Structure 1
Amino acid sequence: MIPPSEAPGTDAVITWVDGADPLHLARRHAAQATTATPLHENAINAHRWGSGDELAYCLRSIANHAPWLRRIWIVTDRQTPDLSALPHSFREKIAIIDHSEVFAGLTDALPTFNSLSIETMLWRIPGLSEQFVYFNDDVFLTARLDPSDLFRDGMPVLRGKWVDYSVIAADPAARADPALLHHFVQINAARLIGYDAAHLFNSAHVVHPARRSVMADLYRQMPDTFHANIAHRFRDLSQFFPSGLHNHACIRAGACHLHTDADHLHLRTGAVIDYPLDQVRAYLRRATLPTSKFLCINDLPQLEAAIPDTRDWIERAISA
């Protein structure tokens, strides 16, 4: 019998938005203007909706390094990306799905400009496989990806590390730091499953393998918590990180494999400001080494402005 993790039927889900689209921009500004409470700085940083060539790099990296994925779902908001440069055979695997389908029956939460809210409902995509892997469009595959890199014995392989965020959680000033909002939403997710800030699994900025049934069960157990999470049209400190909720539920149930090896790279926003450029360049070059399978670049325009040959290195990394 073929193990579940090796069987055909694992999908990829990618969230994408073109924030420069005039219609999208107008809707976002209108929603922001009518928000009753002040928004966190992390929630309104314009780079959050920026769209360069990240989606194209992400899709080409999948075509080159994980052609066995069954279907690629691109989740959008009344938009359709240009896929004409991709091979026809690969385009046939791609399905565009709108927020209105993902939020069917819950469309009062729309429009939303909040990735946390959108990720909370991705498991509701009609026809999505039980085993799926979630990509932000700024995550690229940089080496061959095998099914067992994502699922083993039918259980997700979770990348990250155990951390102690108790100092952050206790510091009122930390709540205003835009760089720390992600820490708080991970703390919130862990607490919902019975873990605390002093001992939680920090999910890496990488692809997120998930079981659809795990999220469906969590929704049945805590519908009000899910509905509160999607009510925020922009990121909020009170929200939970959906992948963190899924991952801690799997850890609690002993239904996952933890992967703490450094096979992933993350160039966060501000890295070119906080570190010498030679160090950032050296880090970027590591994406071309066979030991690296994933590369996340949070702010490609910022990185490219500081390191003009950034795209050359991305091309080398994602090439077959």
Structure 2
Amino acid sequence: MIDAVITWVDGNDPLHRDKRRRFQDPSAHPEASGPQRFISSGEIRFSVLSLLKFCPFLRRIHIVTDDQRPFVSGALRDDNRIRIVDHKGIYADHMDLLPVFSSRSIETMIHRIPDLTERFIYLNDDIFIGRPMRPMDFFEDDMPVLQGQLKRLPNPILRCLKSALGQSRPGYKAAQQAAAGAVGRRDSYLLVEHQPHPMRRSTLARFYDGSPAALRAQAGHRFRSDAQISPISLTHHLEMATGARILPPVDVGYIKPGHPAGTALAGTMEDLNSDAFASFCVQSLEAMTPDDRVTILSGLEQRYG
């Protein structure tokens, strides 16, 4: 059995905006606490539809959220394969750490989802399955199939100097590099794209077993911090140590504001509708131009609606 997990929040919700304001951390990097990080433009609907359409082998889809319910219309509303999981349900005995707004904090706890299968696929809500997939695209027997590139780790002295010069941006690559260091890698790390991630529930559970202080230190940051590692990357590097196979990324589609644009963007959406991508990410849809938003949403509606 295989489940899917999606993390989602609607930052436009007045109650959520007020909660972020009340617990605002002035030391947090502006990119970690700004409102744009939490805006929802309806991507969750397409993410769920993509899983239902192209991964029929999934037992259940868990949507992890903060006292909210995503808007899903029609048959999705009554689909018993979709389960809403509140942050309280995964923090449980560590509920005193809530609320948290850092995706890295939340991802650290997703292995604690009640009734989660051992094997699962993790996605952010702006990531979509692009074409029909099979269980063996994600797992070989029980082992995750990792897709990424091995990169050389940066000089640790230079990294420390950069951090000492001021507040570091909690970047995507840096969190993966830190995850590699957490499991003892000193020469290289696995860089993965914005794509679905095959994971095993027991991998994070074993890593933090007997170390509640380490779990709380990682999962207790209210906003994303450069002191946090990527828990997704942590699982990748732990799986590498047990022999997981690493493949180059295959047909990973990616769009962000301004890239591509115009006719190139329209062509990319046509490619999506022609099975060109195994997975597809639309980052920061809310920051796109109105014309680009229309192009993207109409392409997603054509593919999944």
TM-score (norm 2): 0.90
- 1:19 and 2:29 aligned: no
Residues 48, 102 of structure 1: CA spacing in aligned structure 2 closer, same or farther, 3 A cutoff? same
Assess if the C-alpha contact under 8 Å between 1:15 and 1:75 holds in 2.
Answer: yes
- 1:199 and 2:183 aligned: no
Aligned residues: 301
Assess if the C-alpha contact under 8 Å between 1:304 and 1:311 holds in 2.
Answer: no
Deviation at 1:30, TM superposition (A): 0.7
Whole-Å separation in 2 of the counterparts to 1:289 and 1:165: 37
Q: Secondary structure at the match of 1:247?
A: helix
Assess if the C-alpha contact under 8 Å between 1:72 and 1:95 holds in 2.
Answer: yes
Amino acid at match of 2:15: L
Amino acid at match of 1:85: G
2:122 matched residue in structure 1:
134
Assess if the C-alpha contact under 8 Å between 2:105 and 2:218 holds in 1.
Answer: yes
Provide, for residues 49-90 of structure 1, a one-character-per-residue CA deviation record: whole Å limited to 9, x for no partner.
11111011111111111122001111111111222323466x
- Map 1:270-309; keep pairs closer than 5 Å: 270=257, 272=258, 277-303=262-288, 305-307=290-292, 308-309=294-295
Assess if the C-alpha contact under 8 Å between 1:190 and 1:244 holds in 2.
Answer: yes
1:82 matched residue in structure 2:
71
Q: Secondary structure at the match of 1:166?
A: coil
Whole-Å separation in 1 of the counterparts to 2:11 and 2:81: 25
Provide, for residues 263-307 of structure 1, a one-character-per-residue CA deviation record: whole Å limited to 9, x for no partner.
211223x4x0x6664444444443233241111111112235252
Residues 306, 162 of structure 1: CA spacing in aligned structure 2 closer, same or farther, 3 A cutoff? farther
Q: Secondary structure at the match of 1:218?
A: helix
2:50 matched residue in structure 1:
61
Q: CA RMSD in A?
A: 2.3
Amino acid at match of 1:80: R
Alignment match of 1:158 (pick from 143, 146, 171): 146
Q: Secondary structure at the match of 1:96?
A: strand
2:172 matched residue in structure 1:
182
- Map 1:1-320; keep pairs closer than 5 Å: 9-32=1-24, 35=25, 38-87=27-76, 91-166=79-154, 169=159, 172=162, 178=169, 181-196=171-186, 198-220=187-209, 222-254=211-243, 256-268=244-256, 270=257, 272=258, 277-303=262-288, 305-307=290-292, 308-318=294-304
Q: Secondary structure at the match of 2:59?
A: coil
Whole-Å separation in 1 of the counterparts to 2:261 and 2:77: 42
Amino acid at match of 1:236: S
Q: Secondary structure at the match of 1:190?
A: helix
Assess if the C-alpha contact under 8 Å between 1:163 and 1:202 holds in 2.
Answer: yes
Whole-Å separation in 1 of the counterparts to 2:128 and 2:283: 11
Whole-Å separation in 2 of the counterparts to 1:82 and 1:276: 28
Q: Secondary structure at the match of 1:12?
A: strand
Amino acid at match of 2:297: R
Instruction: Structure 1 unaligned segments of length 5 or more: list them.
Output: 1-8
Whole-Å separation in 1 of the counterparts to 2:241 and 2:210: 15
Residues 77, 261 of structure 1: CA spacing in aligned structure 2 closer, same or farther, 3 A cutoff? closer
Q: Secondary structure at the match of 1:240?
A: coil
TM-score (norm 1): 0.86
Whole-Å separation in 1 of the counterparts to 2:237 and 2:211: 15
Assess if the C-alpha contact under 8 Å between 2:69 and 2:84 holds in 1.
Answer: yes
